[in-house]
């Protein structure tokens, strides 16, 4: 069994519980052992990066040091915000010797950054296609979805180095393995409003509505995300959008791992699909029985 380090981050224990649940189930099915970083702490993505630069770099470094001590060679970070914080902090450490010294002094440890940091999509990219397909029990053929990346996975592109910052396509490749179709749409990386969800909800509802509308307009029945922040804005705030616009057509928002898990025949409860604000059954019901016989 492959061992891969795992840093859940705070969201996955709270608002994104279903993300965490689905990840655990999917990867155990794929034979990958997720080893949680012992004593992990905040990554600094919430407010540290805006209020205290030193802290925002020291926090991820602390976690990287812990992971290295555990002998981990790769670290899977499902939360896009955490992922972004880790890669940005690592970039800074690798490119600013004086900062590295400062952080090393703060942490009283030597920093080694030779650890591979993987986001949700990169994790799936590692999976052998044949293995993936062999675990698939439901063919989601006919399901039209829009893959939504948000901002944190692909930007700043010079730092994350992941996919095309304006027109990414990696998530689509994963989604298609489930049998679902991906729609060609325009708002893959547009802003969802992010943490304004709390401070200025109108911003979020306006921006998120545009995203959902464009997906619907291009024929999507659901949106796939790989970020707890995106999910909460698109899923939770749809009710508010509906209040704003009576014509609004709600569509469910899935985590990538949920969709993959569903195609692998994992129980909907196990995937946490009942925890969504927008009903998921409307699009999933038609596949519930369509379990592909395993050879």
Partner 1 sequence: MMRIGVFVCHCGENIGKTVDCPKIAKEAVKLPNVVYSIDYKYMCSDPGQNMIKQAILEHKLNAVVVASCSPHMHEKTFRKACAAAGLNPYMCEIANIREHCSWVHDNVEEATKKALDLIRMTVERVKFNYPLSEIRVPVTRRALVIGGGIAGIQATLDIAGAGFKVILVEKEPSIGGHMSQLSETFPTLDCSQCILTPRMVEVYQHPNVKLYTYSEVENVEGFIGNFKVTIRKKARSIKESLCTGCGLCVQKCPIKKAPSEFDEGLANRPAIYVPFPQAVPNIPVIDRTVCTYFKTGKCQLCKKVCGRDAIDYDQKDELVTEDVGAIIVATGYKLYKIDKKARDSLVKGYGEYGYGKYKDVIDGLQFERLASASGPTSGEILRPSDKKQPKKVVFIQCVGSRDPSKGFEYCSKICCMYTAKHAMLYKHKVHDGEAYVFYMDIRAGGKGYEEFVRRAIEEDRVKYIRGRVSRIYEKRGKYIVKGEDTLSGVPVEIEADMVVLATAIVAQPEAPKLAQTLGIPYDKYGFYAEVHPKLRPVESSSGGIFLAGACQSPKDIPESVAMASAAASKALVLFGNEMLEREPIVAKVNENTCVGCFYCKKVCAYNAIELKEIRDKKGNLVKVIASVNTGLCQGCGTCNATCPSKSIELIGFNDEQIYYQIKAL
In the complex, minimum distance from the CB of residue 182 to partner 1, in angstroms, rounded to a whole number: 13
In the complex, minimum distance from the CB of residue 158 to partner 1, in angstroms, rounded to a whole number: 6
Kindly state the DSSP code that residue 280 receives in the 8-state scheme.
S
In the complex, minimum distance from the CB of residue 197 to partner 1, in angstroms, rounded to a whole number: 21
In the complex, minimum distance from the CB of residue 215 to partner 1, in angstroms, rounded to a whole number: 12
- Residue 255's SS3 state is strand
In the complex, minimum distance from the CB of residue 217 to partner 1, in angstroms, rounded to a whole number: 8
In the complex, minimum distance from the CB of residue 199 to partner 1, in angstroms, rounded to a whole number: 21
CA 114 to chain CA centroid, nearest Å = 23
Q: Which is nearer to partner 1, 14 or 156 (CB)?
A: 156
CB 78 within 8 A of CB 84: no
> Other C-beta atoms within 10 Å of 176: how many?
14
Q: Which is nearer to partner 1, 167 or 290 (CB)?
A: 167
SS (H, E, C) 127-176: CCHHHHHHHCCECCCCCEEEECCCCCCCCCHHHHCCCCCCCCCHHHHHHH
Q: Which is nearer to partner 1, 167 or 292 (CB)?
A: 167
156 cis-preceded (ω within 30 degrees of 0): yes
Q: Which is nearer to partner 1, 104 or 173 (CB)?
A: 173
Q: Which is nearer to partner 1, 12 or 230 (CB)?
A: 230
Q: Which is nearer to partner 1, 157 or 274 (CB)?
A: 157
Which of 160, 9, 7, 41 is CA-nearest to residue 91?
160
Which burial class, exposed, middle or buried, applies to 144 when counting CB atoms under 10 A from its CB (0-12, 13-18, 19+)? middle
- Residues in contact with partner 1 by the rule CB under 8 A: 157-158, 164-167, 169, 184, 186, 214
Which of 175, 176, 174, 182 is CA-nearest to residue 215?
182
Nearest-Å Rg of the Cα atoms of the chain is 19
In the complex, minimum distance from the CB of residue 156 to partner 1, in angstroms, rounded to a whole number: 8
CB 61 within 8 A of CB 89: yes
Pairing verdict, β 32-36 and 144-147: unpaired
CB 88 within 8 A of CB 95: no
Q: Which is nearer to partner 1, 119 or 232 (CB)?
A: 119
Q: Which is nearer to partner 1, 91 or 277 (CB)?
A: 91
In the complex, minimum distance from the CB of residue 104 to partner 1, in angstroms, rounded to a whole number: 30
Give the CA angle between residues 268, 273, 279 to the nearest 5°: 120
């Amino acid at each position: 069994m492959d061992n891969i380090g795992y840093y859940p981050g705070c969201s996955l224990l709270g608002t994104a519980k279903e993300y965490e649940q689905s990840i655990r189930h999917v990867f155990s099915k794929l034979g990958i052992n997720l080893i949680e970083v012992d004593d992990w702490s905040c990554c600094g993505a919430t407010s540290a990066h805006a209020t205290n630069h030193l802290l925002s770099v020291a926090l991820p470094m602390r976690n990287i040091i812990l992971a290295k001590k555990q002998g981990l060679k790769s670290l899977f970070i499902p939360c896009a915000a955490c992922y972004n914080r880790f890669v940005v902090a690592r970039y800074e450490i690798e490119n600013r010797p004086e900062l590295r010294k400062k952080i090393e002094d703060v942490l009283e440890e030597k920093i080694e950054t030779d650890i591979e940091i993987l986001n949700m999509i990169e994790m799936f990219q590692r999976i052998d296609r044949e293995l993936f397909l062999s675990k698939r029990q439901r063919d989601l053929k006919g399901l039209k979805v829009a893959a939504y990346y948000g901002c944190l996975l692909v930007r700043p592109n010079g730092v994350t180095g992941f996919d095309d910052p304006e027109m990414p396509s990696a998530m689509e490749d994963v989604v298609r393995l489930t049998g679902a179709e991906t729609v060609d749409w325009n708002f893959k990386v547009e802003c969802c409003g992010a943490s304004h969800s709390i401070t200025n909800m109108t911003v979020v509802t306006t921006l998120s509505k545009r995203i959902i509308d464009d997906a619907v307009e291009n024929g999507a029945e659901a949106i796939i995300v790989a970020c707890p922040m995106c999910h909460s804005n698109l899923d939770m705030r749809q009710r508010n959008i509906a209040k704003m616009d009576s014509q609004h057509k709600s569509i469910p928002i899935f985590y990538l791992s949920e969709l993959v898990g569903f195609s692998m025949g994992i129980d909907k409860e196990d995937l946490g699909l009942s925890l969504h604000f927008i009903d998921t059954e409307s699009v999933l019901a038609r596949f519930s029985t369509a379990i592909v016989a395993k050879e």
